[in-house]
């Protein structure tokens, strides 16, 4: 299964990916986690990304695509992956399509978690208090939600026009949301095989 999870910051993409990776037997690839690891390691990419991330801005497309291409070349993704945090704009969605075609791993499904902004702000305030991640500061998150609405929301339309998008209600108990995502994946799989 090659899956992209879409949704605003704080919508639960990472949580759902962590739950699905065990069931699907594929790795969860989070560009946010990849960037945070690069920042923590002090790599050149990490140093470039740190200032951008601390300000709540998005890291450049070329940096993300290079990191992603390297990650998708590793052995553990041969049977698929769950991609979280990428693509964040239509240019990235197009670049992802070219990359996946090049490596012979087209997407099986794209799932968008639909969560209202006010719910997201409440969620990230809790996470910010627990983890103290600068990109979870409520002021930064409000800015990130604006950027999401302008740049990332059109990605859902990009995939919808290609018949690849499933929209799932991301509000509720974790098990409920996971069950909704699994139903969406089953529908997508049935449509592809039907």
Binding site listing for ATP: 10-15, 127, 172
- The catalytic residue among 127, 134, 146, 162 is 127
> Is 162 among the catalytic positions?
no
> Is 2 among the catalytic positions?
no
> What is the Cα 113 distance to its own chain's centre?
10
Q: How many CA atoms lie within 13 A of 169 on its CB side?
A: 6
> Is 142 among the catalytic positions?
no
> Is 180 among the catalytic positions?
no
- The catalytic residue among 48, 71, 133, 142 is 133
- The catalytic residue among 2, 21, 50, 144 is 144
Binding site listing for AMP: 31, 36, 57-59, 85-88, 92, 133, 144
- The catalytic residue among 88, 112, 123, 180 is 88
- The catalytic residue among 13, 50, 123, 180 is 13
> Is 88 among the catalytic positions?
yes
The residues annotated as belonging to the active site are: 13, 88, 127, 133, 144
């Amino acid at each position: 299964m090659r899956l992209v999870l879409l949704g605003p910051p704080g919508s639960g993409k990472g949580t759902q990916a962590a739950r699905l990776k065990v069931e699907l037997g594929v790795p969860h690839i989070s560009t946010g986690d990849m960037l945070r690891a690069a920042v923590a390691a002090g790599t050149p990419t990490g140093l470039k990304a740190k200032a951008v991330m601390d300000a709540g801005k998005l890291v450049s497309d070329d940096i993300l695509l290079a990191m992603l291409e390297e990650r998708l070349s590793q052995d553990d993704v041969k049977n698929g992956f769950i991609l979280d945090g990428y693509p964040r704009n239509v240019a990235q969605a197009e670049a992802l399509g070219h990359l996946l075609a090049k490596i012979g791993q087209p997407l099986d499904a794209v799932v968008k978690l639909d969560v209202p902004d006010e719910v997201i702000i409440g969620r990230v305030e809790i996470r910010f208090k627990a983890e103290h991640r600068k990109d979870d500061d409520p002021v930064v998150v409000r800015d990130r939600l604006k950027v999401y609405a302008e740049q990332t929301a059109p990605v859902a339309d990009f995939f919808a026009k290609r018949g690849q998008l499933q929209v799932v209600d991301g509000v509720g108990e974790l098990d409920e949301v996971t069950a909704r995502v699994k139903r969406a994946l089953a529908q997508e799989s049935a449509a592809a095989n039907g």
